Structure 1
């Protein structure tokens, strides 16, 4: 009997501890369940954002893909969230692009001495994929890197300065476009297609606001973003002005005379048509989350 009494006294603290653990476990389970229900009822449906940064061109004047002359870029977007990982983005972008042969390490390019600037306006649609689950408002799901791939259309109109005056190059036909002597050379389209590839990361500051940084590289279907392609020089396509002086088109199609002897003789290659031009933007920005709520089912 004494042994049984001792066992009963030892059992009481054990029962008390088990009850205490059960109560704690019940509270934890309730908390986890409540949080899970909250996460299920809270839907991150999308974002509206704006970013600013730099744009850069790659092409006949920058064949080495050097990122040494960035210019202004900014953009707006609306992102529709399909689930926690996949979204569709509609975007509008602006980039000022430009380059000059004088920045090249190649002696032939520096002698060619061509340059351009262009205002590029782009609209596009892309699919984005988050590497991590992203739910603003929940700290453990507040950060993710992401990638994206899409298609867009952009307008461009390269220009250059001569004697302090601005000239748009496309309609000047600097490679003989529009000349009766070169009927196979047509004016290039000022609208082209882009294939944007995105690498980015975003962080939710709170349930309403995110910050992000992203790089978007665009492959394009044009080789005239810089007004230079693979066609040969065509100096005979440019008639002199009525007073006998050379026309602006003639002076802009070959500017090697500014650095030395002219290299723009008929039949000599002016650019490289084997590879289309490209451009990229690097931006940082802020976005504002759009929320939906759904009633939990029991």
Structure 2
């Protein structure tokens, strides 16, 4: 009798495992790469800057590289942790707004991000074998899954500006808006928090491998990813405190409209926080536990 009960128990476990292959395939490794975009106070594709996706200037597109780990809570839910390196650039040369072109900022930012996101698959992810379908079109669409995600991210950034020698120099130590001088705020922190919003799709290539694409937009709580936020500070005071290089990088305009960049004139828009975005193409690999094979005829 005991052997019979044990047999029933083990049979039930096996049936449950075979009936829910996602429970044995729930871990996934992700590698990704794709273009990156910054919408801040420099550059911009529309005449009236908005710091939204409408303001992306594709001439300033650079790249991102990432890796991560995805863990399925249910077949339609997962949590994913990722590390992403982002190269972000912004140039007033590309701006639609005349005042921005006059400023002549040319900014490069290396941004490294660690994030955790919750994914909801409104088209469930695929697990196990899904072959022997009626026709090629059915097979193609049956392999697609899609999701939306939200989470939290921490990042480190280091904006640099192009100097007259055509090299880039870190801007935060130079106090380009008077930071660190008497009566002025301290220099901004180069770490920040963001809220990432993502939408993506995946295509299963089999039991283990898959490919995907994801658009992720990050809402940040800093206006200094491009080092530009408030008003111009007295340039002579900046040069006296931090040197000639700091004075140039604080105001690199070519002198065509010098009154536009005088002390107290608008340099950026501190009421609009910076956003950055990526469109990543990924390769996904499921870590299988045991034999999760179950043919679906």
Please indicate the TM-score interval, normalised by the length of the shorter structure: 0.7 to 0.9
2:229 matched to which residue of 1? 229
Aligned to 1:187: 187
Aligned to 1:159: 160
Q: Residue 251 of structure 2 is aligned with which of 247, 251, 254? A: 254
Instruction: Pick closer, same or farther for the CA change 1:37–1:73 going to 2, 3 Å.
Output: closer
Normalized against structure 1, the TM-score is what? Answer: 0.80
Shift of residue 149, structure 1, vs aligned partner: 0.2
1:104 Cα deviation after fit: 0.8
Residue-pair matches, total: 256
1:106 Cα deviation from its structure 2 partner: 1.2
- SS, match of residue 131 in structure 1: strand
Provide the C-alpha distance between the structure 2 equivalents of 1:37 and 1:50, rounded to a whole number of angstroms: 28
Seen in structure 2, the aligned counterparts of structure 1 residues 37 and 194 have a Cα distance that, compared at 3 Å, is closer
Q: 2:279 aligns with which of 277, 282, 289?
A: 282
Cα deviation code 1:250-280 (max 9, x no counterpart)? 1111111x25232321111111011100100
Which residue of 288, 291, 294 corresponds with 1:291?
288
Q: 2:81 aligns with which of 77, 90, 101?
A: 90
Alignment match, 2:56: 66
Q: Deviations over 1:234-262 (max 9, x none)?
A: 324223599xxx70111111111x25232
Q: Residue in 1 aligned with 2:205?
A: 205
Equivalent position SS for 1:108: helix
Q: Does the 8 Å CA contact 1:54/1:282 hold for their aligned counterparts?
A: yes
Greater CA radius of gyration, 1 or 2?
Answer: 1
Q: Which runs of 4+ in 1 moved over 3 A?
A: 34-37, 239-242, 292-295
Cα RMSD (Å) = 2.4
**Structure 2: runs of 5+ lacking an equivalent:** 1-13, 131-138, 293-297
Alignment partners' CA distance in 2, 1:241 and 1:273: 24
Instruction: State the Cα distance separating 1:190 from its structure 2 match.
Output: 0.3
Given that residues 230 and 273 in structure 1 are in contact (C-alpha distance below 8 angstroms), is that contact kept between their aligned partners in structure 2?
yes
Name the counterpart of 1:57.
38
Q: 1:241 to 1:219 in 2, by over 3 A?
A: closer
CA offsets, 1:144-173, max 9 Å, x none? 111100001000010012122321100100
Q: Which residue of 2 aligns with 1:28?
A: none
Distance 1:165 1:42 in 2: 51
Q: Which residue of 2 aligns with 1:135?
A: 126
Taking structure 2 as the reference length, the TM-score comes to: 0.80
Match of 1:40 among 20, 23, 34: 20
Give the alignment partner of residue 101 of structure 2, picking from 107, 110, 113.
110
Unaligned ranges ≥5, structure 1: 1-33
* CA apart distance, 1:232: 3.6
